[in-house]
Structure 1
Amino acid sequence: MFKKTAQVLSLMTFLAVAACVTVNIYFPAAQVEKAAENIVDDIYGTDAQQPAKTSKDSSSLAHFLAFMTPCEANAQGVTESDIEGLKQSNSAIRGLKQTIATDHQQLIPYYESGNIGINKSGLVELRNNDGMDIAATAKVRRLIAQDNKTREKLYEEVAASMNIPGSEIQKVVTIFTEVWQKKAPAGWWIQDGAGNWKKK
């Protein structure tokens, strides 16, 4: 009897550990993609040429939390005590998104001329300085550096808001990269995974 009880307890312990492992390796790819699509849509504008739309929360994170099932919530590690932190994250994301949108409006002419493109890391990259003098080149370099720094912070904030560990931040970057490039208008330059540039 004692032996059987011990076996049952061992099995329960194993299942509990397995469940924890499952929770730890869960990555909310669909939620990250939805957030990325909403953020990129707002920054590009409906026709990718207009200023970003303004909204109270277009990052979709509030919707993500509202519609999560209990299992998904547990997998994410989201508890009531996390809600305030998530609200702060949403506010930070909105601020970062607006900064990128402001920079984006200044960068549009350089996307259209082919001077800059979206690289394989989801960042803006100077491809050439054709038609630009020294002052214009310096200005674009400053804008690119500022924009990329903000993008990196955005990726980190989105990951933090969904309790995604730092070790998996590259998955967030990959999803955002795909969305930036997919939603870029025709005529812009994008870089594939092998480092080759092509015009959409």
Structure 2
Amino acid sequence: MRKALIGIMTSAAIALVGCVTINVYFPEAAAQKAADQFIGNVLDDSGVAPAAQGSGAATPAKPVPGKQPSASLLDLVIPAAQAADAPNIQISTPQTDAIRVRMTARFGGQLKALFNSGAVGFTANGQVVVRDAGSLPLDQRSQANAIVDEENSDRDALYREIARANGHPEWEAQIRKTFAEGWVQRSPPGWYYQDASGAWKRK
């Protein structure tokens, strides 16, 4: 009886470790760093002015020196050395490099002007949308829609390719969310973005 009980508990512990490791451990800090690098390259290379300090969405809280984070179930099932050694996120592949070149050209051209005018804004899911078509002359609206469609096609491909390149296609939604926050944080004052509720805000 005792051996059977120990066997059941051991099996349950192994199953718990497997579930937690697979479903919980998304390297969020590494993903934020990768997103910031990619977005910074696109905006900087296209001549977009950098965001002012303290503007935009809230940045992740920084750890307080000398204060240890509280223990959690994750600490018990994932060795400390593994958690501390967060993997890097691969963001440079032939596909993502080609997407970055197209995005840079788009921002350096008409997309930056559309953001500056307030006609377009960032969505909460990492895309771009025409938010105020009325601010554009009639003869420019179809072209603005075409630019937004091209941008969103590249964005969808980017998030999917980064997840695939890192061997975790299931990370696509989390990568998309990380990039969505990064675009807002790195954008200059005056650009529009949607908050989590879908409401439009201006930096």
Calculate the TM-score normalised by the size of structure 2. 0.70
Q: How does 1:25-104 map to 2 (within 5 A)?
A: 25=23, 26-45=25-44, 49=48, 71=82, 90-104=93-107
Q: Which moved more, 1:8-17 or 1:121-130?
A: 8-17
Give the count of matched residue pairs. 169
- Which has the higher relative contact order, 1 or 2, with Cα contacts under 8 A spaced 6 or more apart? 2
Superposition RMSD in Å: 3.1
Post-superposition shift, 1:22?
2.0
2:33 aligned with 1:22, yes or no? no
Alpha carbons of 1:143 and 1:103: their partners in 2 closer, same or farther (altered >3 Å)? same
In structure 2, what residue type is equivalent to 1:163?
G
Gaps of 5+ in 2: 50-79
Q: 1: distance between equivalents of 2:47 and 2:191?
A: 11
Matched, 1:198 2:194: no
**Structure 1: runs of 5+ lacking an equivalent:** 51-68, 77-85
* 1:80-119 CA distance string (max 9 Å, x none): xxxxxx79x7232222222221222221111111111112
Cα distance in structure 2, aligned partners of 1:170 and 1:191: 17
Q: Secondary structure at the match of 1:117?
A: strand
Change (3 A) 1:43 1:154: same
Aligned amino acid, residue 197 of structure 2:
A
Q: Which string of whole-angstrom CA distances, capped at 9 and with x for unpartnered residues, describes residues 35-72 of structure 1?
A: 1111110111179527xxxxxxxxxxxxxxxxxx9836
Larger relative helix fraction: 1
Q: Which amino acid aligns with 1:23?
A: T
